[in-house]
């Protein structure tokens, strides 16, 4: 028959047979690092709310106040009537934090990348992207129509070779990478990449979704060395350590002015709810006032990697690659039975054969919980993975 439903059922059956079907599981987050699922309270080691600011009373109060005065939604695109005055405050705060001229806030990080890249790059241009870049960086790249090559993960030599081979034929060239890799937790060599970009007349963009709030005193991965990395396009999200929702780009004045007037995901999409914007501002207040608090997620992650003799964590994200989806799913189910929520990450989010547990650490995780989790991983997950 070839009906729509038959097509959907056939695709689902195929995914099911390869253990790649995904389902929503109702999960209610609570203050701290706790969640409720299926009537049980679990300690979550898979939220990106690294500073637990989503439940911070100061953040909630700021959101409530904005909600009561400005309402639940923003009513229109920011270029029509959706540009509540809180947006200007948030953009000014982010620009200051990132030491950029200006900033523009989008509806989400995904929307930001889909808007920024095609505004800057077109056919005739060249984009070089780390092969493990987040799906939305690659989607923005694809949408732009620019010729694109992926360089091997964090491989400066490969990037240099591609620049030498292809830069000459292109009008403009953009290098893009995650600052902190979302599924691996390692860091891009941003200072070195910025130098390569400069030497080859290329522009440089980092997606710092997992860096803002937790690295470089909360400023992100451009600020890890004594000298700020020359990243002309600093993109990120407000949905992780900032605890709220939205995406941003910090850059020079002309670039931000161009994005404001041309990025389609900004122009043709409704502005964020004012309460989300207010929550982000309150979260930035806390991060700027308490730089030691911003260090805690990485410290907690290091407690875990030390306990298991893994490579020292560079960010709040610690992967444990297990191989086949089935193995990762079993390990996740086992940990959930023990009271820990650690979602299995499977292809296509990660490359084939690298299904994994992805642990994320937050400021308010209790050391005793981290130690118990490490014990369980050592005694049950690692030994079983080795036996299979
Ligand atoms: C989560 C994530 C995004 C998307 O941000 P949202 O605000 O959740 O849409 C973009 N890039 C990276 C690297 C991410 O991890």
Q: Which of 280, 176, 187 is nearest to 234 (CA)?
A: 176
pLDDT digits (tens, 9 = 90+) for 190-247: 999 999 999 999 999 999 999 999 999 999 999 999 899 999 999 999 999 999 999 9
Residue owning tokens 């994200």: 317
CATH of domain 57-289: 3.40.640.10
What is the rounded CA–CA span in Å between residue 94 and residue 220? 11
pTM of the full predicted structure?
0.95
How many angstroms is it from 187 CA to the middle of ligand 1? 16
Tokens of 388: 């299979």
| CATH architecture entry for 24-50+316-387 | Alpha-Beta Complex (3.90)
Cβ proximity of 32 and 369 under 8 Å: no
Tokens of 28: 């209610």
> Residues enclosing ligand 1, CB less than 6 A?
108-110, 134, 136, 178, 182, 207, 209-210, 237, 239, 247
pLDDT (0 to 100) of residue 381 = 86
What is the rounded CA–CA span in Å between residue 298 and residue 218? 12
pLDDT (0 to 100) of residue 220 = 97
Strand partners, 320: 357
Q: Which of 111, 148, 133, 231 is nearest to 178 (CA)?
A: 133
Q: Which of 351, 349, 358 is nearest to 377 (CA)?
A: 358
Residue with CA closest to ligand 1 atom 3: 109
CA separation (Å) from 366 to 15, 43, 273?
37, 10, 33
3-state secondary structure of 40: strand
For this structure, is 232 an active site residue? Answer: no
pLDDT band at 383 (very low <50, low <70, confident <90, very high): confident
What is the rounded CA–CA span in Å between residue 140 and residue 142? 5
Q: Quick one: average pLDDT of 23-47?
A: 95
pLDDT digits (tens, 9 = 90+) for 292-350: 999 999 999 999 999 999 999 999 999 999 999 999 999 999 999 999 999 999 999 99
Residue 247 Cα: closest atom of ligand 1: 7
Q: Quick one: average pLDDT of 115-130?
A: 98
Question: Exposed, middle or buried, 188 (CB in 10 Å: 0-12/13-18/19+)?
Answer: buried
pLDDT (0 to 100) of residue 149 = 98
pLDDT for residue 167 is more than 80: yes
**What percent of the chain lies above the pLDDT cut of 90?**
96
Among 182, 244, 276, 332, the active-site one is: 182
Residue with CA closest to ligand 1 atom 14: 209
For this structure, is 198 an active site residue? Answer: no
CA separation (Å) from 16 to 9, 23, 325?
10, 11, 11
For this structure, is 182 an active site residue? Answer: yes
pLDDT (0 to 100) of residue 388 = 60
What is the rounded CA–CA span in Å between residue 343 and residue 339? 13
Residue 237 Cα: closest atom of ligand 1: 7
pLDDT (0 to 100) of residue 194 = 98
Question: Exposed, middle or buried, 4 (CB in 10 Å: 0-12/13-18/19+)?
Answer: exposed
The domain spans of the chain are 24-50+316-387, 57-289
Among 210, 300, 330, 365, the active-site one is: 210
pLDDT band at 387 (very low <50, low <70, confident <90, very high): low
């Amino acid at each position: 028959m070839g009906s729509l439903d038959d097509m959907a059922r056939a695709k689902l059956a195929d995914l099911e047979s390869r253990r790649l079907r995904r389902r929503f599981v109702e999960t209610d987050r609570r203050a701290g690092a706790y969640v409720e699922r299926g009537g049980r309270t679990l300690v979550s080691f898979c939220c990106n709310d690294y500073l637990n600011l989503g439940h911070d009373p100061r953040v909630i109060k700021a959101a409530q106040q904005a909600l009561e005065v400005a309402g639940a939604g923003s009513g229109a695109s920011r270029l029509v009537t959706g540009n509540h005055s809180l947006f200007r405050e948030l953009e000014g705060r982010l620009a200051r934090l990132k030491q950029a001229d200006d900033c523009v806030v989008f509806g989400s990080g995904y929307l930001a990348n889909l808007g920024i890249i095609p505004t800057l790059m077109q056919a005739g241009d060249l984009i070089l992207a780390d092969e493990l870049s987040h799906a939305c960086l690659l989607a923005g790249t694809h949408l732009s129509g620019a010729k694109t090559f992926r360089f091997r993960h964090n491989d400066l030599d490969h990037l240099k070779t591609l620049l030498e081979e292809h830069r000459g034929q292109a009008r403009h060239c953009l290098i893009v990478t995650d600052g902190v890799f979302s599924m691996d937790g390692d860091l891009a060599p941003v200072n070195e990449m910025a130098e390569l970009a400069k030497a080859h007349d290329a522009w440089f963009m980092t997606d710092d979704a997992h860096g803002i709030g937790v690295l470089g005193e909360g400023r992100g991965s451009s600020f890890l060395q004594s000298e700020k990395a020359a990243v002309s396009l600093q993109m990120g999200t407000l949905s992780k350590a900032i605890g709220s929702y939205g995406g941003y780009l910090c850059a020079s004045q002309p670039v931000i002015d161009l994005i404001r007037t041309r990025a389609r995901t900004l122009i043709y999409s409704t502005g964020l709810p004012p309460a989300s914007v207010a929550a982000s501002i309150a979260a930035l207040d806390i991060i700027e006032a308490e730089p030691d608090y911003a260090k805690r997620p990485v410290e907690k992650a290091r407690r875990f990697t030390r306990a298991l003799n893994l490579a020292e964590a560079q960010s709040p994200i610690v992967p444990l690659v297990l191989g086949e989806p089935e193995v990762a799913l079993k390990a996740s189910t086992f940990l959930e039975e023990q009271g820990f929520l650690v979602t299995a990450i499977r292809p296509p989010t990660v490359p084939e054969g690298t299904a994994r547990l992805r642990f994320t650490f937050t400021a308010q995780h209790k050391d005793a919980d981290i130690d118990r989790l490490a014990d369980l991983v050592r005694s049950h997950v690692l030994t079983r993975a080795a036996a299979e």
